[in-house]
Amino acid sequence: MIAFIRGVVQAVSHDHVVVDIGSVGLTATCTAPTALSLHVGDRVELLTSMVIRDDGWTLYGFVEADERTIFEQVQTVTGIGPRIALAVLSTLSPDEVRNAIANDDLNALTKIPGIGRKGAQRLVLELKDKLGIVTGSTPSRSTATPIGWLASVTAGLVSLGWSQREAEAAADSVMPLASAYGDNPDIGALLKAALRSLDRA
């Protein structure tokens, strides 16, 4: 399996990057915060996790080893695949996931798009005592810059199966709510509000 990729960023989207590793370019699917932190021309090393399914092979990239660990552990939970696992890391940092599970904090877990109360209960039940101690290695994902939240919300919706057009329209619809947060918009709350707007459509 591919453990990491190292090279020059050739393209960046809201949910993936293309890295030139010398002879080929590899696409790595990422969380929105990771994708937004990279720019064309940057030299980068991403730790990777390969997910192989009947419909294709997908490479997921992470800046921190801890993110990859959480990504892979979350997928061991019944009914959760890589898209939801990536949504977990787009909403919460690894330590926030650990804290939420250790403290049975279902409210924090239900901020994740695609995770309802039953899903949150499964996360707690199946991952209790499996994620290790809080490391303090990664920052919170619960807030984002005023510029970054729009791409984060859009990426979260696309990862849940909505089209790019639908996701962008839903993200635009929660701009008043984002403005109310000022400089620290809550990505989890904005994603849930965008999902509600899609449910009403």
User: Could you list the residue range(s) of the whole structural domain that residue 101 is in?
Assistant: 65-127
Q: DSSP assignment of the chain, as one string? A: ---EEEEEEEEE-SSEEEEE-SS-EEEEE--HHHHHH--TT-EEEEEEEEEEETTEEEEEEESSHHHHHHHHHHTTSTT--HHHHHHHHHHS-HHHHHHHHHTT-HHHHTTSTT--HHHHHHHHHHHTTTS-S----S--SSB--TTHHHHHHHHHHHHTT--HHHHHHHHHHTHHHHHHHTTS-BHHHHHHHHHHHHHH-
Whether the per-residue pLDDT at 191 is higher than 60: the answer is yes
Query: How many domains does the structure of the chain reveal?
Result: 3
pTM of the model: 0.68
CATH code of the domain in which 179 resides? 1.10.8
Q: pLDDT value at position 146?
A: 45
Same domain, 71 and 56: no
Q: Is residue 75 part of a domain?
A: yes
pLDDT in tens, 12-61: 887 899 999 998 999 999 987 788 788 899 999 999 999 988 888 999 99
pLDDT in tens, 95-115: 999 999 999 999 999 988 888
Q: pLDDT value at position 54?
A: 85
Q: pLDDT value at position 147?
A: 45
Pairing state between β 25-29 and 43-53: unpaired
CATH code of the domain in which 45 resides? 2.40.50.140
Same domain, 57 and 71: no
